[in-house]
């Protein structure tokens, strides 16, 4: 879109400053004084919004101290020991491990595609799953889950990035043979050996740019909106280096770009100072920030502004108060016209956009546990160092009383006594154990959800009950996260792919269940509402628990006589595909259960061409007879049937269709024999079904006991 100039009749000439001649990306309205003044007012509102969050930020800082095991002035006891129990940290890590393994199943199928045109769209589904792996969203979501348990808010920035890298590769080129001064030809490779040259090639790869927004760096106005899409203003505080600005030089006009670089040299006037959570997290990890690196705090503000009589979504970048510090004002660059910030509370609070930290409810308990354990450790020091009491008048050689191995004390034993200090540490540890149990209960944990499993030996029924409760609580929490964050994130990635990818891309995908994995080229898809995506991590995890019910239900269906199905036909193929895919995974599954329909059957269009050239076509039992009949009859009307080959083939399809219908008719084929007893038809024994741990119900070989059902908390962390 062309940039507005003074010659544009819609723009007031006095409202535009002199523009530079250097080109930059996108239409920037920063040269208009009135819009820059409005943007400065929005910046002031954002600063007030951040100041209103001061109490929340201070609370979150204390909760991060609890997670990072840092003693603070919240402790009541001050003694010799400075132990910090990682009770809350271990609980948060257990929740993160369980949730992340549920969200990212081991079969690498994270997203399901829903099509309004009833097509499978396997390529698009594989494309989204590829982006999830390529962008390493599993690691990002792990950090997001930890931050949410500390601050009470899931917050992600979902953008798009293009990475370029130059590589050297060998390229074969044919030899050029000169005939004269003005003419030359290229000799083919089979005539003359090609030469090998090294060329530099630039590789460009676009991918989602998803990162966790610290709670302290996010502002939403008003703070009472129900969701972030209803907000008037969304602002993200970003700390930038000079390199960050140099890489994005084309995004600013030259005047504002030079002004931004000048702000790095100023000690004051760089906007409102704010705490740096990223610097604090780095310090918690043992890395101190480089004092030589200068950082500039800018606010990326997503709002709406009136431009040429129309309210448009814009993005504002501001480095400080006042119109002079507004660096850019551009229209929302995304086709979806939505803010790239995705944020939702862990637990919804009525009347507030922000959520309450889960750590808040157990913070004081953590302080009490630390006080108790430190008092116990101080007591243990005295208990391990007993006090020797002696009468110096009766024992003049007190100097010989030395604590050594096989020491000899030349003293009167009747006037010497060793005082044992009370073992108060035992009572302190009992208090700690009670507090730990309460913290786990408050955070929704039980022994089955901890990575180490149950803390004591219990019956199989008790273990099964604990795991059932763990699965239920996990499913409830994960459903909120999938619905509010990950499903929205998957649809955003699809929108960005449509906008920024303009070339076909080869990606590996596994096709329909039962088909071989293959490499498919995915063309750019038109923008629209044809496809939508759902995060399917929880569904995949639950499917692993339902394999045995599927086997049981399949055997029951196989035992129903056809004359009781009322015209229905039983097809257990989809059940087999699903079971094999869940058990063996998408790579091994297609090699275990092969679908030969595509290999044996011939498309009706190809059969039409064969018969048009008077070549016979054989009817396959796996053909869709109705679809073939429609195609053949239409082709016969167009090209005619002088030899009768079309009519003969159509009659064969009619006979095959009638034979298939006869099997479903009442009194047709019998059920599957050999179930409940020898020679008993149509009543097969049901498959593995979850039952009480009585040990009397027979199950097929390899059936998982109810007390040992698959638990996402016990999966290795690197499987996804």
The reported pLDDT for the residue numbered 204 is 78
Domains in the chain: how many in total?
1
Answer whether residue 632 is part of any domain. Answer: yes
Structure tokens at 202: 């630039």
Q: Compute CA distances 229 → 43, 426, 512, whole Å.
A: 19, 54, 35
Calpha distance 279→287 (Å, rounded):
9
CB 693 within 8 A of CB 460: yes
286 burial type by CB count under 10 A (0-12 exposed, 13-18 middle, 19+ buried): exposed
Question: What's the distance, CA 522 to chain centroid?
Answer: 22
pLDDT at 394: 79
3-state secondary structure of 342: strand
Residue numbers of the domain that contains 643? 597-664
Q: Does residue 562 form part of some domain?
A: no
719: left (phi over 0), alpha (psi -120 to 50) or beta: alpha
Per DSSP, the three-state class of 51 is: helix
Instruction: Tell me which residue has tokens 């990035």.
Output: 161
DSSP string covering 159-191: EEEEEEEEEEEEEEEPPEEESSSS-EEEPPTTT
What pLDDT, on the 0 to 100 scale, is given for residue 261? 86
C-alpha 125/C-alpha 344 separation (Å) is 25
Determine, yes or no, domain membership for 606.
Answer: yes
Q: Report if residue 643 sits inside a domain.
A: yes
* pLDDT at residue 284 in the model: 52
Residue 83 lies in a domain: no
Three-state secondary structure call for residue 536: coil
- Distance, in Å, from the CA atom of 42 to the CA atom of 36, rounded to the nearest integer, reads 10
Per the domain annotation, does 699 fall within a domain? no
Does residue 645 lie within any of the structural domains? yes
Q: How far apart are CA 32 and CA 155, in angstroms?
A: 33
Which residues of the chain fall below pLDDT 50? 1-9, 11, 13-14, 19-24, 191-192, 268-271, 287, 454-455, 510-520, 526-528, 666-683, 686, 688, 690, 692, 695-696, 710-720
Domain annotation covers residue 530:
no
Q: Are 295 and 239 in contact (CB under 8 A)?
A: yes
Distance CA 20, CA 9 (A): 20
pTM over cut 0.85: no
What single string gives the DSSP state of each residue in 366-417? HHHHHHHHHHHHHHHHHHHSPEEEE-TTT-S-GGG----TT----S-GGGEE
pLDDT reported for residue 397: 79
Q: Round the average pLDDT of the chain to a whole number and report it.
A: 76
Q: How many CB atoms lie within 10 A of CB 427?
A: 14
Three-class SS state of 147: helix
DSSP 246-258: HHTGGGS-HHHHH
Q: How far apart are CA 201 and CA 169, in angstroms?
A: 7
pLDDT tens-digit series, residues 240-260 = 888 888 888 888 888 888 888
């Amino acid at each position: 879109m062309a940039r507005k100039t003074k010659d544009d009749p819609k723009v007031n000439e006095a409202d535009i400053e002199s523009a530079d001649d250097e080109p930059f990306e996108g239409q920037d309205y920063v040269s208009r004084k009135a819009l820059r003044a409005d943007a400065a007012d929005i910046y002031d509102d954002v600063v007030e919004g951040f100041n209103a969050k001061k109490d929340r930020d201070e609370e979150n800082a204390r909760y991060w101290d609890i997670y990072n095991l840092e003693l603070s002035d919240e402790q009541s006891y001050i003694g010799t020991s400075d132990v910090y129990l990682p009770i809350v940290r271990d609980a948060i890590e257990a929740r993160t491990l369980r949730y992340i393994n549920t969200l990212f199943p081991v079969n690498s199928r994270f997203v399901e595609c829903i099509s309004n045109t009833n097509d499978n769209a396997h390529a698009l589904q594989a494309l989204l799953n590829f982006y999830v792996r390529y962008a390493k969203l599993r690691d990002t979501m792990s950090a997001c889950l930890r931050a949410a348990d500390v601050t009470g808010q899931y917050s992600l920035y979902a953008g798009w990035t293009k990475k370029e890298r130059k590589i050297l590769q060998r390229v074969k080129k044919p030899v050029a043979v000169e005939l004269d001064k003005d003419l030359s030809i290229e000799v083919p490779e089979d005539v003359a050996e090609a030469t090998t040259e090294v060329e530099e090639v630039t590789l460009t790869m676009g991918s989602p740019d998803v990162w966790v927004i610290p709670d302290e760096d996010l502002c939403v106005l008003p703070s009472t909106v129900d969701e972030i899409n209803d907000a008037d203003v969304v602002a993200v505080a970003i700390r930038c280096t000079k390199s960050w600005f140099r890489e994005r030089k084309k995004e600013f006009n030259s005047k504002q770009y030079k002004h931004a670089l000048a702000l790095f040299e100023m000690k004051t006037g760089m906007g409102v100072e704010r705490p740096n959570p990223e610097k604090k997290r780095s310090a918690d990890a043992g890395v101190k920030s480089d004092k030589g690196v200068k950082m500039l705090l800018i606010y990326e503000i997503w709002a709406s502004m009136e431009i040429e009589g129309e309210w448009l979504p814009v993005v504002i970048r501001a480095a400080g108060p006042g119109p002079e510090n507004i660096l850019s004002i551009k229209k929302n660059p995304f086709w979806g016209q939505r803010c790239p910030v995705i944020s939702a509370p862990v637990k919804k609070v009525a009347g507030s956009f922000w959520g309450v930290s889960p750590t808040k409810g157990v913070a004081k308990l953590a302080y009490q546990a630390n006080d108790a354990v430190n008092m116990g450790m101080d007591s243990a020091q005295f208990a391990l160092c007993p006090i020797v009491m002696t009468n110096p008048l009766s024992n003049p050689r007190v100097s010989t009383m030395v604590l050594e191995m096989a020491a000899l004390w030349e003293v009167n034993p009747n006037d010497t006594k060793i005082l044992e200090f009370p073992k108060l540490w035992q009572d302190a540890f009992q208090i700690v154990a009670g507090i730990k149990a309460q913290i786990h209960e408050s955070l929704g944990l039980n022994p089955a959800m901890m990575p180490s499993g149950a803390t004591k030996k219990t019956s199989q029924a008790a273990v099964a009950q604990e795991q059932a409760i763990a699965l239920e609580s996990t499913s409830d929490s994960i459903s909120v996260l999938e619905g509010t964050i990950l499903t929205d994130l998957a649809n955003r990635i699809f929108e960005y792919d449509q906008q920024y990818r303009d070339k076909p891309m080869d990606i590996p995908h596994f096709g329909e269940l039962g088909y071989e994995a293959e490499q498919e080229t995915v063309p750019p898809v038109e923008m629209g509402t044809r496809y939508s995506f759902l995060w399917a991590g929880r569904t995949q995890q639950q499917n692993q628990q339902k394999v045995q019910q599927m086997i049981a239900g399949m055997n029951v269906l196989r035992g129903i006589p056809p004359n009781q199905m009322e015209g229905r036909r039983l097809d257990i193929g989809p059940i087999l595909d699903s079971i094999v895919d869940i058990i063996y995974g998408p790579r091994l599954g297609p090699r275990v259960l092969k679908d030969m329909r595509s290999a044996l059957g011939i498309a009706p269009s190809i059969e039409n061409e064969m018969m048009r050239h008077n070549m016979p076509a054989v009817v396959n039992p796996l053909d869709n007879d109705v679809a073939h009949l429609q195609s053949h009859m239409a082709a016969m009307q167009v090209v005619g049937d002088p030899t009768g080959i079309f009519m003969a083939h159509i009659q064969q399809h009619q006979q095959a269709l009638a034979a298939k219908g006869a099997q479903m008719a009442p009194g047709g084929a019998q059920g599957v024999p050999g179930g409940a007893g020898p020679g008993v038809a149509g009543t097969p024994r049901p498959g593995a079904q979850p039952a009480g741990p009585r040990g009397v119900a027979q199950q097929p070989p390899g059936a998982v006991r109810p007390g040992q059902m698959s638990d996402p908390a016990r999966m290795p962390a690197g499987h996804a």
